[in-house]
């Protein structure tokens, strides 16, 4: 069993930056696909970003590509999401997600095997 704990959320002005971090415990995630999805108030969940086990392949939603960067540290058992040029529409609860079989698709399809409790990001105008 893997537990995922997100941190780094908060209030930021539009145009600002935040860095989210996800710490995994219970097992090493070095072979897992990892990623992030988000859910804004009153809206459906939305895929944000994902990376393969090595961090060499990265995938982004069109709405965040060029502004967000996903990275991972398999020694520290963490995955981060650097968010730049934040927009009001980025306001959401951000969830860390993991697939133990290394499948990016389950994260893109919003059906990961594991996910955390989320961290709230609020972007003000």
Q: What are 56-96's pLDDT values in tens digits?
A: 999 999 999 999 999 999 999 999 999 999 999 999 999 99
Place of tokens 């971090």: 21
Token readout for 18 is 């935040």
Neighbouring residues of 82: CB distance < 8 A, sequence distance ≥ 6:
17, 19, 68, 69, 70, 71
Interior angle at CA 117, CA 79 and CA 33, nearest 5: 35
Per-residue pLDDT band at 121 (split at 50, 70, 90): very high
Distances (CA, A) of 66 to 11, 30, 59, 69, 72: 21, 25, 11, 8, 18
């Amino acid at each position: 069993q893997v537990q995922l704990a997100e941190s780094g959320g908060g209030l930021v002005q539009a145009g600002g930056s935040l860095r989210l971090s996800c710490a995994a415990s219970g097992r090493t995630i070095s072979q897992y696909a990892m990623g992030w999805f988000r859910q804004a108030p009153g809206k459906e969940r939305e895929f944000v970003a994902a990376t393969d086990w090595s961090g060499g392949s990265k995938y982004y939603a069109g709405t965040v590509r060029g502004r967000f960067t996903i990275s991972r540290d398999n020694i520290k058992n963490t995955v981060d999401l650097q968010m730049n040029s934040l927009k009001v529409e980025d306001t959401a609860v951000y969830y860390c997600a993991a697939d133990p079989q290394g499948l990016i698709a389950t994260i893109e399809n919003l059906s990961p095997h594991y996910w955390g409790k989320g961290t709230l990001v609020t972007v003000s105008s």
